[in-house]
Amino acid sequence: MKRRTAMEKASPHVLIFPFPLHGHINSMLILADLLCLAGIHVTFLNTDHTHHRLLRSNPDLLVDRPGLRFRSISDGLPLDQPRPIDRITDLFVSLRSATKPLLRAMLAGSGGGLGSDDPVTCVVADGLLSFAIDVADEVGIPIFIFRTASPCSFWTFFCGPALAAGGEIPFEEDDMDRLIIGVPGMEAFLRRRDLPSLFRVKELSDLNLQFILTEAQDATRASCVILNTFEDLDGPILSHIRAHCPTTYAIGPLDALLKCRLTESNDFTPTSISLRTEDRTCLTWLNSQPDKSVLYISFGSAAVATQEQLLEFWHGVVNSQTRFLWVMRPDVVDRMGQIPAELREATDERGRLVGWAPQVDVLAHSAVGGFLTHCGWNSTLESVSAGVPMICWPFFVDQQTNSRYVEEVWKVGLDMKDRCDRRTVEMMIRELMEGKREELVKSTARFADLAKRSVSQGGSSYMSFEKLVENIRSMCQRAHPDGGK
Ligand code: UDP
C-alpha cells in the first residue's frame, strides 16, 4: 500500500458509518461526497451484508478512488440470513453486541483493520449506531452523529422519557386524535397518531421503543449532531434540539447541497451507489406526458403493503383518472395474486410501473405534478426541494410525524395516514392534482425556493456545512499539531 506523504497526512480522515438501510446509506454517501469535495479523506464503512449486495448490483461502484474508499464490517448475522424490516430488532441487537468490538479493533492503533496507515481523525456515525460513541470515546477519537431521519421525529424521540413520565405513552389505540402535549413546540397539532409508529406499543419496555429512545438521548454524548434539513424549514425544532445538542449542523437538503457544490468543482464525479437497479426508461415516458399531469408513486425502499392495501391504492389511483408513474418494488407486497383486468388496462393506458426509479430526476421532471409517498425523510425533502406537493401514506418510524408536518405545518401536501381505501385515495389525488392544487403549489414553491437559497453560497446550509468542515479540520489539527510529520 502506498504510504501517504506528510502533507496528505495533515488532511483529516473521516470514517462514515451508516445504519444498513437504503435511506441511511444514501444520505451518508452524499455527505461522504461533500466531504471529499472539501478535501477531506473519507472511509465509508458498510456492513458486510450491504457491501456484498452493492457489489452484486454493480461491482464497479465500490472501487476506491482518491479521497474515498469503501470498507466493510460484520453486523454479526450470517451473511445469507435475510434482514426483513419486521425483524430489525435482530439487527439492532447484533450490531450492538457483535459489531462494537470489531469497530473498536478497527479504530484502535494506526488504521487498525482499515487496511491503511492513515489514522481516523473523526468518526461520523449514524444516529442509530450510538455504540460507536462508546468506541470512539474509548479510543480517543471525536465522534459526530448524523441523524438521517427527520428533526421532528428526533425531537419527538428525545421527548420520549417526558411523554412516559407524563403518562402520554403508552396509549390505547382507541382515541388516536387526542393531542399530545409533552413535546415542546408541537402541542398545538401533534396527535397520538402523529407520533412515530414506534410509540404505538402496549408496553414501555418494548425493545424497539427503548432502543430508539436511548439512541436519541445518546446524541447528547457526541461532539456534534448533523441533520439533513434547513433552517427555514425546521428552525423551531432546531432551536429545541440545540438546547440539548448545542453544536447541531443543519446541512440539507443534502442532494441539493451536493449539486450546488459540484457546480463549484470541475473534476468531481459524485458517487452513485444503489442497492437497486434504476429503470431510467421512465424518464423517456415522462417526456411524452403533459406538464404537471403525472402522479409519481413510491413507498421508498422498506415499506410493505398488504395485497388488499395495494389493490385499494391501485383502484383509487385508477379511479382518479390521473396519469401515474408507480415504483412497484418486487418486495412491496408479500404475495400478489391476480390483478383485476380493469387495473391492468387502465395502467397500460395512462400509467407506468417500474421496479426502482431515478427518484430525484423524476421529481425534477416537468411532467410530474404530485407525489404519493410513504413520507420517508429523504423522499419528503427531495419533494420539498423539487417543489412537488405530496400525498402522504406514512408506514413507520418517523413517517407518521413527517406527514403531520407536511400537511399541518408546512402545508405542502395532504396526510392520508391510517387510511387507504379506494375512495379516500381517489379523493386525495383529485384534491392534490385539482381542488387544492393552487394553495399547495404556492406553499411548496416557497419552500423549494428557500431550500435552494439555503444550499447556495452564503445560505444557511451552505454555511453550516462550511462550519462542519472547519470543525473537522480543527480536530485533525489537534490530533496532528505538527502536520503529520
Ligand atoms: N428512491 C429511489 N428510487 C425509488 C424509490 C426511492 O431512488 O424508486 C430513493 C429516494 O430518492 C430516497 C430513498 O430512496 O433518497 C428513500 O429514502 P426515504 O428516506 O424516503 O425512505 P426509506 O427508503 O428510508 O423508507
> Atom 6, ligand 1: which residue's CA is nearest?
300
CA 23 to centroid of ligand 1, rounded, Å: 6
* pLDDT of 8 higher than 70: no
Rg (Cα) of the chain, in Å, rounded? 22
**Please, which pLDDT band fits residue 115 given cuts at 50, 70 and 90?**
low
| CB-based contacts of 49, cutoff 8 Å, min separation 6 | 20, 75, 77, 79, 83
253 lines ligand 1 (CB under 6 A): no
User: Could you tell me if the CB of 357 is within 6 A of ligand 1?
Assistant: yes
What is residue 277's predicted lDDT score, i.e. its pLDDT?
85
The contacts of residue 161 (CB under 8 Å, 6+ apart) are: 213, 217
Q: Cβ(26) to ligand 1 under 6 A?
A: yes
Q: Hey, which residues are catalytic here?
A: 24, 126
- Is the per-residue pLDDT at 159 higher than 90? yes
Across the strands, what pairs with 124? 16, 144
Residue of 264 and 375 predicted with greater confidence: 375
Specify the CATH number for 13-197+208-274+455-479; select among 3.40.50.2000, 3.40.50.300, 3.40.50.620, 3.30.460.10.
3.40.50.2000
Does 13-197+208-274+455-479 match 281-450 in CATH topology?
Answer: yes
Identify each DSSP E strand in 233-329 by its residue range. 248-250, 294-298, 323-327
Compute the distance from residue 174 Cα to the ligand 1 centre, in Å.
Answer: 32
Q: Ligand 1 centre and the CA of 301: distance in Å?
A: 6
How many Å lie between the centroid of ligand 1 and the Cα of residue 305?
16
Which of 110-114, 317-321, 355-359 shows the lowest mean pLDDT across its residues?
Answer: 110-114
Average pLDDT, the chain: 93
Residue 435 DSSP class: I
Distance CA 139, CA 182 (A): 37
Calpha distance 333→239 (Å, rounded): 40
Q: Is 298 in the pocket of ligand 1 (CB under 6 A)?
A: yes
Pocket test for ligand 1, best of 22, 27, 281 (most atoms within 8 A of CB): 22
Alpha helices in 252-358 (DSSP H): 254-262, 281-287, 307-319, 341-350
Cβ–ligand 1 distance for 399 under 6 Å, the answer no
405 within 8 A of 154, measured Cβ to Cβ: no
- C-alpha cell of residue 189: 397539532
Report whether residue 252 contacts ligand 1, using a CB cutoff of 6 Å: no
Please tell me which residue, 119 or 252, carries the higher pLDDT value: 252
Confidence of residue 58 (pLDDT cuts 50, 70, 90): confident
Nearest CA to ligand 1 atom 13: 23
Given this model, what pLDDT does residue 484 score?
A: 47
Say which range, 92-96, 305-309, 334-338, has the weakest mean pLDDT.
Answer: 334-338
Residue whose CA lies nearest to ligand 1 atom number 1: 359
Alpha carbon of residue 105 to chain centroid: 29
- Measuring CA to CA, which residue among 133, 148, 49 is closest to residue 94? 49
Residue 436: the pLDDT is 97
pLDDT of 5 higher than 70: no
| 22 within ligand 1 shell (Cβ under 6 A) | yes
pLDDT, tens digit, 9 for 90 and up, residues 194-222: 999 999 999 999 999 999 999 999 999 99
In this structure, which CATH number among 3.40.50.300, 1.10.287.370, 3.40.50.2000, 3.40.720.10 belongs to the domain 281-450?
A: 3.40.50.2000
Q: Which sign does the torsion angle of CA 131, 132, 136, 142 carry?
A: negative
- Domain layout of the chain by residue ranges: 13-197+208-274+455-479, 281-450
- At 139 the pLDDT is 94
pLDDT at res. 266? 75
Which of 466, 481, 461, 468 has the alpha carbon at shortest distance from 14? 468
**For ligand 1, what atom is nearest to the CA of residue 356?**
8
CA 2 to ligand 1 centroid distance, Å: 37
State whether the beta carbon of 376 lies less than 6 angstroms from ligand 1: yes
State percent of the chain over pLDDT 70.
94
Q: List all residues 6 or more positions away from 153 whose beta carbon is below 8 Å from its beta carbon.
A: 196, 377, 397, 398, 401, 402
Centre of ligand 1 to C-alpha 82, Å, is: 20
Burial 379-394 (b: 16+ CB within 10 A, else e): bbbbbbbbbbbbbbbb
* Across 144-151, average pLDDT: 98
